[in-house]
Amino acid sequence: MGSVANSEHEPFRLRPAVVGDVPTLLRFIRALAEYERLLDEVTATEEALRTTLFGDQPRAEVVLAEVGDVPVGFALFFHNYSTFLAKPGLYLEDLFVLPEYRGRGYGKGLLIHLARLAVQRGCGRFEWSVLDWNEPSIQFYKSLGAIPMSDWSIFRVTGTALEYLGAAVE
């Protein structure tokens, strides 16, 4: 990677995150959670990020956007699978750009990069979720050709409910 992308303001570089970026990633994750009004749900630690992103079995990948040597945003993604297409997909878990760097093309650059990566990897789709109240992001995504999947609802099992379900007797 290491490519330089042009924005409307200044060039920026996209690069894969490395283990030394873990403190920056945790800072970005906490800032994203604060923006989404979900900071109280963040239990991630540097050690957990090191293990799950850079350990023996990495569970996701991260791309950082930098202006000069300053990290200004990130995208965390992983592969899923579409049985209907019989192809892998790329799922964007989180996209975040620092508030003072928004509106300069960095988020769009990250999305374009991931779309190219999805095509290169033979993915049948590239998808993500957005909070219903986040109208600026919804409009931005629609401007890029993304369509909301209004016929679908996300279901989640976590914490005690996940443990209970996992321990259920069939």
Catalytic annotation, pick one of 91, 101, 106, 141: 141
Mean pLDDT confidence for 161-168? 93
Task: Please give the pLDDT value at position 170.
Answer: 78
- Domain spans of the chain, in order of start: 4-166
Residues 72 and 96: their CA atoms lie apart, in Å, by 8
Q: Is the dihedral of CA 50, 51, 57, 59 positive or negative?
A: negative
| Tokens linked to 48 | 């957990």
Q: In terms of DSSP bridges, do strands 12-16 and 4-5 run parallel, antiparallel, or are they unpaired? A: antiparallel
**pLDDT by residue (tens digit) across 57-109?**
999 999 999 999 999 999 999 999 999 999 999 999 999 999 999 999 999 99
**pLDDT by residue (tens digit) across 2-61?**
545 554 567 899 999 999 999 999 999 999 999 999 999 999 999 999 999 999 999 999
Do 90 and 114 touch, CB atoms closer than 8 A?
A: yes
**pLDDT by residue (tens digit) across 104-160?**
999 999 999 999 999 999 999 999 999 999 999 999 999 999 999 989 988 999 889
101 is catalytic: no
* CATH number for the domain running over 4-166: 3.40.630.30
Task: Please give the pLDDT value at position 119.
Answer: 97
